[in-house]
Amino acid sequence: MKIQPPIWKKVTSSLPLLLLGGGLAISGNYLINSSESFANVIKQDNNTVATIAEVPSSVAAKEQNLSSEIAVPQNYVSEVVKQVGDSVVRIDASRKVTTNVPVMFNDPFFRQFFGSQIPNIPNQQIQRGLGSGFVVSSDGLILTNAHVVAGSDQVKVTLKDGRTYEGEVMGTDSLTDVAVIKIEAEELPAVTFADSEQLQPGEWAIAIGNPLGLDNTVTTGIVSATGRTSAQVGIADKRVSFIQTDAAINPGNSGGPLLNAKGEVIGINTAIIQNAQGLGFAIPVNAARDIAEELIAKGKVDHPYLGIQMTAITPEIKQQLKSQKNLDIESESGILIVNVVPNSPANKAGLKSGDLLQKINDQEITQADHVQQAVAKTNVGDELSLGLLRNKKQLELKVKVGILPRPQKVSP
């Protein structure tokens, strides 16, 4: 099923209230529950000032009754939680793993002497994982992280109201860490999507999930940065430009939504840098949605692929190449091709180790992630024009984009 585009909704803005007196200041979502909360003074026609205590009791009583009838104002976070909270789910995944028991532990002679001291280790154990997810269609499609459900034998999905369902993993994509789960349910509250391409640092960010097993936890912050590369985040095996946020994200938040102030999903919470404080990362929802639609349609994702290993040119790299490989690079910019994968599209097109990649489709390339982004925007079978510098000579080669090979499963 194709995921529907976002529906923009209007939310109530925060109405801060400041009370001064007795050294106490309170701001934010404060409950107005007495006549003293409205105003301490009332201006008269002759510019004199009277306190609430001087107002006739009948007027004061009417104001007090009026205040009790006024709806309690909520800040924007409360409105977002009310709007989206029911769409966020808890995911419990489990799988059986084989335990490597030392051979000596099963040796009868060994057990005869040390039987009481040998731990009783079963041949198989159940590994359990906890994560979050969110409903993207009313008929039970759920988005989460691939690492939350990868390799699972059983997936259990729990809604906020306590209902529990067996989940079917429709597909996972480890390269972008996106997965789709299906549960047999109807009329579920689905989220709406923002355009993550329009995100700007400084915008509000709200994370909802189940960190450390604490269900339906809400944290807030801002979008700290956009376009963080997988290398910068420290997970170089991913092909994602991450959203960085200072909204608190902990183990168990993985797969939950990162929302804007309108309650629209801007990303999927995914990565935590160990020992970092106030740093979390999310997969932009535009990329996640494209991956999800392909997973729903085919159960897999075909990623475009060239087959090169590369590095940006720096003074340090130039010095290393000159001293270790007697390779003198004169250019100050470009991407050095360190290795070409055998039988890859790049290899078939004639690229070689030591080539300096300077342009893709006439666009200058100065950073390695620019190459990744350019390739990611193509379709398998498309042709790219590469501008190269080889042995101080300019070359232009055409490369037909291939499919990224899938990792080979290792037999136990």
Q: What is the pLDDT of residue 318?
A: 79
pLDDT at 344 over 50: yes
Least confident of 17-31, 164-178, 241-255: 17-31
User: Which of 56-65, 88-97, 135-144: highest mean pLDDT?
Assistant: 135-144
Nearest to 257 by CA among 190, 313, 322: 190
Q: 7-11, 109-113, 179-183 — which is least confidently predicted?
A: 7-11
Per the CB < 8 A criterion, the answer to whether 373 and 306 are in contact is no
Please state the domain extents for the chain: 35-71, 196-298, 304-403
Residue 404 clears pLDDT 80, i.e. is over it: yes
Q: Which of 191-200, 226-235, 325-334 is predicted most confidently?
A: 191-200
> In this predicted structure, what is the pLDDT of residue 232?
81
Question: What pLDDT score was predicted for residue 3?
Answer: 53
Residues 303, 175 contacting (CB under 8 angstroms): yes
Residue 22 confidence (pLDDT): 40
Q: Which CATH architecture has domain 196-298?
A: Beta Barrel (2.40)
Q: How confident is the model at residue 296, as a pLDDT? A: 94
CATH assignment, 304-403:
2.30.42.10
Whole-number Cα distances in Å, 2 to 86, 190, 247, 288, 297: 21, 13, 30, 13, 9
* 64 class by beta-carbon count within 10 Å (0-12 exposed, 13-18 middle, 19+ buried): middle
pLDDT band at 345 (very low <50, low <70, confident <90, very high): very high
Which residues carry out catalysis? 147, 177, 254
Instruction: Find out whether 342 and 405 touch, Cβ atoms under 8 Å.
Output: no
According to the model, what pLDDT value does residue 48 have?
40
Q: Is the pLDDT of residue 353 over 60?
A: yes
- Amino acid code (one letter) for 150: A
Query: What is the value of pTM for the model shown?
Result: 0.70
